[in-house]
Structure 1
Amino acid sequence: MSWQELRITTDSKHAEALSDALFDLGALSVSIEDAAAGTDAEKPIFGEPGEPVDQMWDLSVVVAHLPDEMDPQLAVAAAANTVGIDHPHFAVVTVEDQDWVRLTQSQFDPIRISERLWITPTWHESPNPDAINIALDPGLAFGTGSHPTTHLCLQWLDANIAGGETLLDYGCGSGILAIAAKKVGAGQTHGVDIDPQAMIASKQNAEQNGVEIDFFLPDALPAGEYDVVVANILTNPLKALAPMLAGRVKAGGRIALSGILAEQADEIVAIYGAWFDFAPAKASEGWVCLSGRKR
């Protein structure tokens, strides 16, 4: 079985409406990409959960996969007519059926975090069997070690866990940070996420790595303070959660915060500075990890 990949170049004002129209016409899937992706003009777009993104690409590409029997020319004409725009420029390529599982796996190679810490998908041999290897596959929740914020937090944990510390991973996603903390020597470790799917993924990943971690939805987290709290979420949730997260850190304990764009770092430092003294930020690809010690 094959599919037709339809790529429509349009202004960003009409991209979403074209996507909806193509879905209604029977497209199998539709996505929107930056028309300048892969060039010097590529523009990252970031947004916070629950808030609209206040910037868009100058030009977008609507990518739709059509059944082999659907006429792309007629689909484009019908979608444009529905949206009320002139016939846009488009291109069509045929996508042959293939082993999609193997193709997806080929896109995830082992990730070196430090001299001793690696993230290794289960279908790969470890590049360094003597290292601390975390077995983790892409799955139900965010966090494979490839995103700069996750990478920064992993490096911080590797450098700062001395052994035996109690630790809270708030916004645990796949559980990767909690698992890494246990692997490098943390003591009792808890993970929290608002997403029940993250609970499933985290528990499975912890079992796969042979570490004992308790995971909770926020309201079920037991009372208590920790030697270390790490939260790799986003700026707005970090701002809202500041009093709670600060209250979870013991006096003299450490906090590590990420999911923060470089231009947002000063605001987070100013808020959390009510409780913590911060070290210089660590940065990667426009993101930062902030760490501080509680007074």
Structure 2
Amino acid sequence: MPQETLGILLAFAGALFAGAVAILAKLGYTGVDSTLATALRTVVVLVFAWGLAALGGRLPELALIPARSWVFLTLSGLATGASWLFYFAALQKGDVARVAPIDKSSTILTMLLAIPILGEIPTPLGVLCMVVMGAGTLLMVGIRRPARGEKPSGGSWLAAAWASAVFAALTSILTKLGVTGIDSTLGTAVRTTVVLVMAWAMVLIKLGGKGAAREMKAIPGSGWMLLALSGIATGASWLCQNASLQLINASLAAPIDKLSIVVTILFSRVILKEKLPRAARIGLVLLVAGTLGLLI
């Protein structure tokens, strides 16, 4: 199988797993502090990532990772942690169908950052696709009037969602720089470790040790299960994405990853009963069309 074809297939597999993450997290984060929930699910991702690295016999390669990769993997982990914290905070207050498109708009930011940092110059078609994707994102976010009896959620979720997109774009670039020349499984494990340390540091700052313990005792069994499944889906998505980044350009891998929004929207409609207005449906078509256009 050609290297580029394998890279594209891995990117699509990562998108499939990523599409399920938002729904599992939305359900699992209900009634749980978003920072604590992020830290808990990261534990699952960490076990998943290091377990696969050990099974693959990659642990001895830790000593061979160059200093440059350590720096970029650490920065990537910090950017990932920040993106998660903002993203899941937004999911707690906003509709999945509106938060997810903003998160996926990080594709545009990734492509823009790839120009000066990675030297990946978009084609005229690529520029057109970015414009189409941007228009689609704005249509999907829209302005929805609260339903009868529903309290307005305010704009806090919107700011958090855009912050998540910015850090997600930085994650793609830093990961591309960090995994160059090393095994993607090992790179994922190292990056997850950084995210875990950052997430639990935020928990201790926000809730304190006793506060975190009280919050964890209040989480129901179903909540623990959903958080675990969310972590497993995230770990699988990461492994596929990092492997694809070693085979294809970041400007190609990132758009494919963002197709996970189709899976997310479908699940949000079926499971969460979130309706998609006409303008948002048009926006989704534009977002997907722009993404597919980047693959030509």
TM range, smaller chain:
under 0.3
**Bigger Rg, which one:** 1
Q: Please, what TM-score do these two structures have when normalized by structure 2?
A: 0.23
Q: Which has the higher strand share?
A: 1
Q: Which has the higher contact order (CA 8 A, sep 6+)?
A: 2
